[in-house]
């Protein structure tokens, strides 16, 4: 889906003065998807990928059921390997997929972690579209500098400030890294979740340390120590 279409969806869905709503895969996916049959000759499949400027395509049966995925790399002849003639012979059958109602940020993180360019979108087992990294650009189009500022500002607004906390935020390709310290052990997870909730953040590497165990744990230890004297 074009970035202009995504931007229009955001403007229409956002109330004046409100925040951008969470988008889902169905809002940006390419549908219908370019698909291939397992019987498609490998050479013809390569031509289809080249014509549509895509790196891969879902492989489906006559009913639209997902059978696998074939990529450019699958179609390149390998030295010392007997040439395989059809898509069904070279496709990958163990395939990650996305659902149309999944949050886009969740799928985006999965693409980054698995180093995938795209995922088939399935309803049940039938392919209804494809979501690719480029589909995320219109939604998560924020520079690393902007992300560092946004995450830092949000954490400050949520009272993660000295002396109880000192958090240093960095970003590389949308992946936020948190260094420094917070007050309680539970604050480590909370700060990481808050950073992950900022629009444009693809993933969070949480290196935060804590200064003290959770208050509840300290109370339990105190109670145990007093029982020892009874």
Whether residue 6 has pLDDT greater than 90: no
pLDDT of 104 > 70? The answer is yes
**Percent residues over pLDDT 70 in the chain:** 79
DSSP conformation class of 53: T
Q: Is 80 helix (H, G, I), strand (E, B) or coil?
A: coil
Q: Of 212, 198, 138, whose CA–CA distance to 169 is shortest?
A: 198
Which residue from 45, 23, 211 is spatially nearest to 104, judged by alpha carbons? 23
CB 164 within 8 A of CB 210: no
Q: How far apart are the first and last CA of the chain?
A: 70
Query: Band of the pLDDT at 165, cuts 50, 70, 90?
Result: very high
CA distances to 66, 164, 182 from 159, in Å: 48, 9, 10
Taking CA atoms, 54 is separated from 6, 23, 70, in Å, by: 20, 23, 11
pLDDT of residue 98: 94
Report pLDDT for 18. Answer: 38
- The per-residue pLDDT for 79 is 57
Phi and psi at 7, nearest 5°, equal: -60, -40
Higher-pLDDT residue of 81 and 103 is 103
Residue 81: pLDDT over 60: no
Among 73-87, 120-134, 199-213, the least confident range: 73-87
């Amino acid at each position: 889906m074009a970035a202009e279409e995504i931007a229009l969806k955001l403007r229409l869905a956002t109330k004046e003065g409100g925040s951008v709503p969470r988008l889902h895969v169905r809002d940006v996916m390419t549908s219908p998807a370019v698909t291939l049959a397992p019987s498609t000759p490998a050479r013809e499949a390569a031509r289809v990928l080249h014509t549509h400027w895509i790196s891969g395509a879902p492989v489906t049966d006559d009913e639209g059921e997902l059978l696998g995925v074939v990529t450019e790399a699958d179609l390149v002849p390998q030295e010392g390997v007997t040439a395989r003639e059809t898509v069904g012979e070279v496709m990958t059958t163990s395939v990650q997929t996305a659902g149309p109602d999944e949050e886009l940020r969740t799928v985006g993180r999965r693409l980054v972690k698995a180093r995938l360019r795209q995922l088939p979108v399935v309803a049940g087992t039938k392919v209804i579209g494809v979501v690719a990294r480029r589909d995320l650009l219109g939604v998560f189009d924020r520079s690393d500098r902007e992300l560092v500022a946004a995450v830092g500002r949000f954490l400050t607004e949520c009272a993660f400030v000295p002396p109880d906390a000192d958090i240093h935020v960095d970003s590389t390709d949308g992946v936020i890294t948190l260094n420094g310290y917070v007050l309680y052990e539970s604050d480590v997870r909370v700060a990481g979740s808050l950073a992950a909730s900022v629009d444009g953040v693809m993933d969070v590497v949480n290196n935060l340390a804590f200064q003290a165990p959770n208050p509840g744990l300290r109370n339990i230890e105190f109670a145990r120590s007093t029982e020892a004297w009874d």
